[in-house]
Structures are given as C-alpha cells and as structure tokens.
Amino acid sequence: MKKSNVASIDSIETMGLVDGPGIRTVIFFNGCKLRCKFCHNPEMWNKRKNNITVDELVNKIKRSKPYFKDTGGVTFSGGEPLLQADFIKEVAKRLHEEGINTCLDTAGVGLGNYEEVLKHIDYVLLDIKHTNNESYKYITGKELKEVENFIDACNKTHKKIWIRQVIIPGITDSDEYMESLLKYLMHIKGIERIDFLPYHRLGREKYLKLNIPYPFEDKNDMDKDKCNILYNNFINKFNKIYEC
C-alpha cells in the first residue's frame, strides 16, 4: 500500500464547533516536531503505527455530511497534520469531490512542499507561537524559519486564514508583544478571523501520566478578563490598518 494511503491518527471528534466554520468533524493526527511548553496534547507528539486508510477515513467523514450543511466540514488537526500531508491531500481531494469543506489546523511546521496540500484546503487555522525567533525557540524548541515558509505558501495560494494566539502570562500578554504581533500579521494575507486563547493548565495531568515534567509548573491560568481586554484593544488596531 502506498505510504500516502495510510496514516496515524489519535482520534476523531464529531460535531466540533470551535475548529473552523460551522459544525465539523475534527481528525487528530499523531506526530509533531514542536514541544510547545503549553501543549495540552503531549500524547500526540510521536507518530504511532498507521491505523487508517484514505478510504476508511473518507467513509467515516461522509456519514457526518448531513450535519455540515453550508458552512461546516472537516478539520485536520493534531499533533501536526502537516507531517502527514500526502495523506491529507488524498483525503481532501476526495472530500472536495463530495462537496465537503476542508480546514487545516496547524503550527506550520511540517515537511515542506506546502503548496501541494494547500491546493486542497479551504481554510487554515494558523497557531502563532511567538513573533521572534529567540522566544519562539524557547517556547517550541525549534526555529521560526519553517513557519515563514508555510506562511509564504499560504500567501501564494491565497488561503483564508484564521489566526490563533495563546496568551501566556509573562510571555505573550504584554503591550509590547501585542505590537509585535500586529506587525507580524501584516505579512499574512487573507486573515478573516483572529482568536486569543487564554493559557490554561488543563493538560497538566496528561504530562504526569506520561512521566513528563510539566514545563509551566510555575504559571497560573491566564486571566480571562485581561485576555478579553487585550483582544479588544488588539482587534480594534488590527481592523484599522490591515489591508488598508
């Protein structure tokens, strides 16, 4: 069997409401190059044995098609779905033949050649970890360059982009960071929505079960009221200058 015809997934969530427009089926792929200090899915870091084929996944998804209606569809998430991009490309092709919308929830760090898979993706949910290389490396363990390659591919293929930014106390919650994020997003075309996600410790128990030290043991949950204030101030500035 061709490598692109099989994949490793952790789970499938039906009736997803926060991973793209409308009601969605969310596919969680195993494997990720990053080791984000605020990750709440450490069980998906490593790619496991392939456990599903293109035909099997497409057939599972088609059962939920009546719920998608005009705006819903499928979101490829993880882990990092771009590490299994050839498989996703094959699935997305088949879904488009069925009239099903596709969305990619990603940190933008895969294996390159991103334009090929993006041809078959309708929306990109792009997770912004940080805007400068030093802090990005502190948070993720990797360099920022690969994300820039992915953003270039999104710009070239004219993707619709939803931005997601985790707001972490002491790291991404300052006015200075908001200014840097504003400048960073000016280089990304097609942004239709921005979400600020307040950091939380709900994934901590998973680390303990896996015998992995929890990286942000000294941090409390992000205050939701402060997060909302930051968001409102940010989005007002963004809307005034984006694509002016």
Block means of pLDDT (10 residues each) for the chain, 244 residues, are: 84 93 97 95 93 96 94 96 97 97 98 96 98 96 96 98 97 97 97 97 91 93 96 96 76
CA triple 53-54-55, angle to 5 deg: 90
CA distances from 110 to 147, 148, 206, 209 (A): 9, 12, 24, 27
**Cβ atoms within 10 A of the Cβ of 5, count?**
16
Q: How many Å apart are CA 25 and CA 14, to the nearest integer?
A: 4
Residue 147, pLDDT score: 97
34 near 138, Cβ under 8 Å?
no
Query: In 43-179, where do the E strands start and end?
Result: 52-53, 73-78, 101-106, 123-128, 160-167
Q: How many Å apart are CA 93 and CA 205, to the nearest integer?
A: 38
Task: Count, in order, helices (H) and strands (E) of the chain.
Answer: 9, 9
pTM across the whole model = 0.94
On average, the pLDDT of the chain sits at 95
CA distances from 73 to 23, 91, 168 (A): 7, 13, 30
Residue 242, pLDDT score: 84
